[in-house]
Amino acid sequence: MQPIEQLIQGNFYHIYNRGINSCNLFNEAPNYIHFLKLYDTYILPVAETFAWVLMPNHFHFLVKIKENVIYKYSITDRSINAFRFFEEHKWETITPPDLSACEAPDSVKAGTNPENIKIPKPHLHFSHLFNAYSSYINKRYNRHGSLFERTFKRKLIDNETYLKNVVLYIHNNPVHHGFCKHLLEYPWSSYLSCISAEPTSINHEKITEWFGSEENYKLAHNSIQEIKGIEDYLGI
């Protein structure tokens, strides 16, 4: 069995999975919306997102795991300015430059990790996301059992060429699978966010930088994609 790729701080990963036995993950618009809300809750604190698409029976994300992130709340410091680690707040994170404003211990400011400071484990954030969404679907549709194939797939992207190609692959998924003829027609991807002036959690400035300009970004997405080579690289 191929070893599971760990999620290391500072690295880019393609995260993907499908419904068990290729069953649908998303049946109607509220499902997509709920999944994205859960994604914001569980994943945004520990990873930057550069591209995503939700298909009826599978999904793809391109993320970069955040560096030097710690949880905002701890379980031992009970002072008025504590980094308390209560269950309902456990996903809030904070980076070292922000700690000085919160009267953090000197050891934390220096970049060390005392026992009362908790460092996120990104793979658990993804696992909790999928568990939360599975519970929602099972309750909503009166179903039981697993929803996703185990374990969610992840592929380290350490090649600049494939970094851009994965963005194109993710955004062109709906066209590739015949759900639309043009990217603009599919609502459940980050393609529109990357060309919109509206506020978004997608780092569209960085993506535009990868492609050189917004015009080049659009042209690249409209070109014919070499799907098989990308899928072979990703192991899909």
- Give me the domains of the chain, ranges plus CATH numbers: 12-66+122-234 (3.30.70.1290), 70-109 (no CATH)
* pLDDT per position as a tens digit, 88-141: 556 778 776 544 444 444 444 444 444 556 788 899 999 999 999 999 999 999
Beta-carbon contacts of residue 140 (< 8 Å; ≥ 6 apart): 31
Measured from the Cβ of residue 165, the count of other Cβ atoms closer than 10 Å reads 20
DSSP 3-state assignment of 112? coil
161: left (phi over 0), alpha (psi -120 to 50) or beta: alpha
Distance CA 63, CA 212 (A): 20
* pLDDT per position as a tens digit, 151-209: 899 999 998 888 999 999 999 999 988 898 888 889 999 988 777 666 677 877 888 88
pLDDT of residue 106: 45
58 close to 17: Cβ distance less than 8 angstroms: yes
Prediction pTM value: 0.82
